[in-house]
Amino acid sequence: MPAFPSQTVGPFFHFALTTDAALGCLAREGARGERVHLVVRVFDGDGQPVPDAMIELWQADAGGKYEDPEDGQEIVPDPAFCGFGRLATDDCGVCRFETVRPGRVPGVSGALQAPHVNVNVFARGVLWHLFTRIYFAGDPANDEDAILALVPADRRETLLAGPDASVPGVWNFDVRLSGERETVFFDV
């Protein structure tokens, strides 16, 4: 019986993966909320770019509503927002998403979580995708987020996207697959 991609090492997902940049646009024209360009860079343990990774994002819209039947909130979802994106990294290990800053969503306890973007990382040498989150540096709600509070203080910065000082509306987030500054990944 042949092995499945998650059972062997290799960039199997990259074959036949569309390079359609439209898959990186979560927010169409007219979407509510603050427009955000999220630049994700993926690095290996030696600090080298990973040119064949795949990044999936999913998030709530600006009102805090997921486009998901299991989101039981009585909030009407934004019809111009899909909440999911998928892109391969380029030769420099970079992919660019166009979205909106997500609203706060209730956690398991009912307490509101800080605005965040959920991320799956698929990369060579990784047998099963890695799950992390992107929070926005400087957001006061970060101090109240129950998930972020579980991460040791000296590691939280690996979950923060920072604003690009030269381009308004652009946020940069680095995924480090291993090494001293490895991104915090969650076991979900």
- The CA angle 52-54-60, to the nearest 5 degrees, is 160
What's the rounded Cα separation, in Å, for the pair 39 and 187?
A: 24
Amino acid identity for residue 137 in this structure: A
Q: How many CB atoms lie within 10 A of CB 9?
A: 10
10 pLDDT higher than 70: no
Q: How many CB atoms lie within 10 A of CB 38?
A: 26
In tens, the pLDDT along 120-168 reads 999 988 888 999 999 999 999 999 999 999 999 999 999 999 999 999 9
Average pLDDT, whole number, for the chain? 90
Question: Sorting pLDDT into bands at 50, 70 and 90, what band is 173?
Answer: very high
Give CA torsion, residues 70, 72, 76, 78, to 10 deg: -40
- Those residues with Cβ within 8 angstroms of residue 64's Cβ, 6 or more apart along the chain or in another chain: 73, 75, 102, 103, 104, 105, 112
In tens, the pLDDT along 41-78 reads 999 999 999 999 999 999 999 999 888 777 778 888 89
pLDDT of residue 12: 46
Q: What is the reported pTM?
A: 0.88
Q: Where in the chain are the domains?
A: 5-176
- The CA angle 77-31-143, to the nearest 5 degrees, is 75
Question: Sorting pLDDT into bands at 50, 70 and 90, what band is 23?
Answer: confident
Classify domain 5-176 by CATH architecture.
Sandwich (2.60)
